[in-house]
Amino acid sequence: MMKQKQKILIVGGVAGGASAAARLRRLSESAEIIMFERGEFISFANCGLPYYIGGEISEKSALILQTPQSFKSRYNVDVRVRHEVVAINRNDKTISVKNRQTGEIYLESYDKLVLSPGAKSICPDEFQSERIFTIRNIPDTDRVKEFLDTKKMQHAVIVGGGYIGLETAENLYRAGLEVVIVQHSDHVLATLDFDTACDVHRHIESKGVQLLLKHEVKSIAEHDGKLIVAFNRDNEIVDEVVTDMIIFAIGVQPDSSLAEDAGLTVNSRGAIVVSETMQTSDPDIYAIGDAVAVVNYVTEQPAYIPLAGPANKQGRIVADQICGIDSRYSGTQGSAILRVFDMTVASTGINETVAKKNGLNYEKIFLWSTSHAGYYPGATNMSIKIIFERETGKLLGAQIAGYEGVDKRCDVIAAAIRAKMSASDLAELELCYAPPYSSAKDPVNMAGFVIENILTGKVKIFHWHDVEKLQKSDHVILLDVRTPAEYDNGHIDGFINIPVDELRGRLDELDRLKNIYVTCQIGVRGYAATRILVQNGFDAYDLSGGFRLWRSIFGAKTKPQPRNNK
């Protein structure tokens, strides 16, 4: 514990800063703790801001977890809101503070300094209008809310298909607006891969929300109380939309200018470089939260992953370190979850983009599982993708899109990754079961079974992106083992139909000199068919995710449902 009274200054009073201050006081009654926040509010729930805009959270006060007065009463911390730290004077261990109400600038000394300035929203400087917004803090949200409440808004464009962008789109939709989402890449949610995101795309479009992928804003003009937005694709103008408002949600960048001006080490992205004890290049200065670079827990490589959970943990670690407790930050795993209308999307660990960037030898599987026992009313399906190391089965990441039960499955896999379990270990997990909650073989267990079969050579798989090449080959047989009715209702070109229940009696129809690539609806019957084929001398492969996944990626757009804003 802290041996002598220290003066500790904290810059930033939201997630990381407030967490550090509270932990410091719990560990030391003698420390002098001063927290500076340039805004009006401390300890507010950033993640709840879009839901306040849409009215699902009706009172702004619900977003404010602590006030300067309550923080003083509970933790005896001197909280100074509307006070901006404008410089760090490392030589004499002081900071320069500007009182934003009076304009006065004064010095404050420190023994230890904690930087928690967070991140700032990215908004192109060339676009300026009272109808253009970002959402990062309560004043941003108040501005959007007031605009919606005082103007007759009918249409909004959301630029950016990340977490804040999709949450904001949903809430504006629920408020009665027509919404267009613009995303520069080929899919929403960078934590997902394209194939998993396709289910999300279809769900968004089913609500009547227009989704413009691989589009960027080229120009914005204002005329007669409207914004005219031109979009380009491959450097050509392809769309023009007239809208009432635009919200930029294209990401955040570390708010690290204070640290950089003080000569602290930052990386190429501008994130403050810290050790596992959260110390900066100055041993008396710590940094936490969205402004810092972290280590990716899975790849063990430097990364920038701004999330509320890690920020709070880092605040606790800094307090421990200052008070003599040897806590260390082991890295950010990137576990995250999002509600997209009535769909739930969750991910943990790394995706394929990161796996490829790091040169990992990985494999992936796709499953389509029910949230609880299929015979019990109300079961819904979820699409699961798991990435694992090909040779060892080490779990690398998971992505799940569905409805009921997505959160708990992703949490189980997140815990398994943190525990460094292998993918086949999932098969052995003993998880709670009752028909309203799960199946005797939980989707997590099923993932373990599938991976175990691959690792032990019981099945070989191929993927949706392999199909096009296979369709051009004369040396393979493409086989669909669903029922004739399913096949007639839609199939992949080039696949012949032999139902799995007839397969044993029709093996003579197949050329034993050709590899056979099998599909069914979701992969289960395909696995059964490949086992039949392999044990009868054929070389067979099962399409992971089956026809359902292929259709999600390549099928026609989903028709919008009748609108319901409730």
The CA distance from 462 to 455, in Å, is 14
The CA distance from 181 to 159, in Å, is 6
Told to judge if 410 belongs to the known catalytic residues of this protein, a careful annotator would answer no
Q: How many CA atoms lie within 13 A of 356 on its CB side?
A: 5
The CA distance from 109 to 207, in Å, is 55
Q: Do 199 and 367 meet the contact criterion of CB atoms below 8 Å apart?
A: no
For residue 282 the two structure tokens come to: 């100055």
How far apart, in Å, are the Cα atoms of 534 and each of 456, 523, 540?
Answer: 14, 16, 6
Q: Do 7 and 111 meet the contact criterion of CB atoms below 8 Å apart?
A: yes
- Among 219, 218, 167, which Cα is nearest to 188's? 167
Residues 6 or more apart whose Cβ sits within 8 Å of residue 466: 517
What residues are paired with 362 via a beta bridge? 389
Compute the chain's Rg from CA coordinates.
27
For residue 389 the two structure tokens come to: 């190391």
The CA distance from 358 to 102, in Å, is 51
Tokens 């669909």 -> residue: 480
Residues 6 or more apart whose Cβ sits within 8 Å of residue 251: 121, 122, 160, 162
For residue 469 the two structure tokens come to: 């090449």
Count of beta carbons in the 10 Å neighbourhood of residue 492: 20
Of all helices (H) and strands (E), which one includes residue 107?
strand 105-109
- Among 404, 402, 407, 412, which Cα is nearest to 432's? 412
DSSP secondary structure code for residue 475 in this structure? S
DSSP secondary structure code for residue 29 in this structure? S
> Phi and psi dihedrals of 319, rounded to 5?
-60, -45
Q: Do 370 and 444 meet the contact criterion of CB atoms below 8 Å apart?
A: no
The CA distance from 415 to 402, in Å, is 20
Q: Do 338 and 203 meet the contact criterion of CB atoms below 8 Å apart?
A: no
The CA distance from 157 to 147, in Å, is 14
For residue 429 the two structure tokens come to: 């997990």
For residue 333 the two structure tokens come to: 């795993």
Count of beta carbons in the 10 Å neighbourhood of residue 354: 22
For residue 555 the two structure tokens come to: 């099928």
The CA distance from 172 to 157, in Å, is 10
For residue 44 the two structure tokens come to: 């507010």
Tokens 């056979």 -> residue: 516
Catalytic residues: 47
